Amino acid sequence: MRVLTACLLLLASPLTARAGLYFEVTSLDAKPESGATQLSVKFPFKNTGDQKVTLFSTESDCGCTTATLDKQVFQPGESGVITVNFAIGDRVGPQEKRVRVRASDQTEPHVLTFKTNIPVFARVQPQFVYWANGEPSTPKSMVFELVDHDSPIQELTATSNNNAIKPEVRVIEKGRKYEISITPGATEKFLLATIQLTAQLGGGKPERRMQAYATIKPGPPAN
C-alpha cells in the first residue's frame, strides 16, 4: 500500500507543478475619470508553473477594446501585466467587455472581464429640429446642458455640415448650459444637416463631441 501511495504521489506532482498563468483577478469594475475618452485597466499575473509560458494572442469583444502585453514569453516565477484599453467614444451607460488571452499553458483561453458605467456627459434637447417645406426661415433652438457636475466645460462650439443651415451658440450658464440657435437659409428644398457640438474641457482633457440634427421636410408630391 505504501508503495502504491508513493507512486501515485510521484505521478501527481508533475501535473500539479505544471500549472501556468495565475491572474490575481480575472474580473473587475473600473470607473473612468470625468470627461475621459479612454479607460485602461490592468490584470497582473504570474507564471506559477515549472515551464515557460508563451502568450500567443489576445482577442476582444469589439474593436473598441484592445489589450497590450509586457512581452510574450514568461519563465517560471516571472510576473507580468496585461493592460486592456477601452475606447469610450460616445458610449454611455453600463459596459461589459471581455478579452480572451491564448497561451501555451492551457488549451482554452484565459478570459478577462471588466465592467464600467460611463456617465452621461451632457444632454441636448431637442436633438432634432425641423421646418416644413415653405415655412418661414425663423431660428429654432436646442439646449445643451452638462450632466457631469464635476467638470464644467470651457467653451462650446457648433458647426453644420451643410452651409444652408447655420448654428449659433449663446451662453445661458457659463460652463454648463448653452442655447444653440439654428437658422435655415431657405425652406423650399429638402435637406438634412448634422450639427456637430464640440465641448472644450480644461486640464488638458480631450474635447467631447455630440451630434444634433436639423432638417427641412420635403414638399408635397407634384401632381
Distance between CA 45 and CA 217 in Å, rounded? 58
**Grid coordinates of 196:** 456637430
pLDDT (0 to 100) of residue 150: 65
pLDDT (0 to 100) of residue 114: 92
- Kindly report the CATH number that applies to the domain delimited by 122-216: 2.60.40.10
Count how many residues are written for the chain: 223
Domain ranges of the chain: 19-118, 122-216
Distance between CA 112 and CA 79 in Å, rounded? 17
pTM comes to 0.62
Q: Which residues contact 115 (CB under 8 A, 6 or more apart)?
A: 27, 28, 29, 30, 94, 95, 96, 97
Distance between CA 199 and CA 181 in Å, rounded? 16
pLDDT (0 to 100) of residue 149: 65
pLDDT (0 to 100) of residue 202: 75
Domains 19-118 and 122-216 share a fold: yes
User: In 3-state terms, the chain is what percent helix, strand and coil (to 5)?
Assistant: 5, 50, 40
pLDDT (0 to 100) of residue 37: 77
**36 phi and psi angles, rounded to 5 deg:** -70, 145
Distance between CA 40 and CA 54 in Å, rounded? 23
Residue whose C-alpha is closest to residue 214's, from 129, 127, 133, 123: 129
pLDDT (0 to 100) of residue 102: 95
Averaged over successive runs of 10 residues, the pLDDT of the chain (223 residues) comes to 46 54 94 79 94 93 88 94 88 90 94 90 92 92 85 90 94 94 91 92 79 88 55
The CATH number of domain 19-118 is 3.50.30.10: no
